[in-house]
Amino acid sequence: MRDIIVSEAMGTLQLASILKENNISCKIVPFYQIGDLSDFDTFIKNAIKILDESKPKIVSFYTRCDVYHIDLMLARVIKDKWPDMYIVCGGPQSDITSVQTIEQISFIDYICCGVGEKTIYPFFLPFWLENQI
């Protein structure tokens, strides 16, 4: 837990705690827990294994310029394997490239711009309810 607090973006932690307070389950998976990015094939295999175990309705990326290419490569693999899984981006990089990303990258379903504290619960609730039925 301490590792996640030290390494994970504060924005992600804030949003996860809002979901938790509202009884919507979510899991934060930092890239370093998935694997070593220099061995990308294993990194992808590990990511698929993690997602296969939990089968989330939504995968959300906190995007930053230094890792946006990784987010997008992983998102493409996820969408190919699970077309019904929604892929969402938030954070500074998708914020500034929101129009270009949505226009050019078909496997990104939503981009949440700006701060997310007021958006996260109303945005996630319908997906959560759909999953409960």
Binding site for ligand B12 (CB under 6 A): 9-11, 14-15, 60, 62, 64-66, 88, 90-93, 96, 112, 115-117, 119-120, 123
Nearer to ligand B12, 35 or 92 (CB): 92
The residue with its CB nearest to ligand B12 is 90
Min. distance of Cβ 95 from ligand B12 in angstroms? 6
Nearer to ligand B12, 15 or 47 (CB): 15
Min. distance of Cβ 13 from ligand B12 in angstroms? 8
Nearer to ligand B12, 57 or 64 (CB): 64
Min. distance of Cβ 30 from ligand B12 in angstroms? 9
Q: How far apart are CA 98 and CA 63, in angstroms?
A: 11
Question: Which pairing describes strands 58-62 and 110-111: parallel, antiparallel, or unpaired?
Answer: unpaired
Q: How far is CA 95 from CA 14, 62, 101, in A?
A: 18, 10, 10
Min. distance of Cβ 130 from ligand B12 in angstroms? 16
Nearer to ligand B12, 47 or 71 (CB): 71
Q: Which among 27, 7, 17 has a CA at the least distance from the CA of 120?
A: 17
Beta-carbon contacts of residue 101 (< 8 Å; ≥ 6 apart)? 89, 94, 108, 111
Q: HSE on the CB side for 47, CA within 13 Å?
A: 26
Given a contact cutoff of 8 angstroms between Cβ atoms, the answer to whether 54 and 27 are in contact is: yes
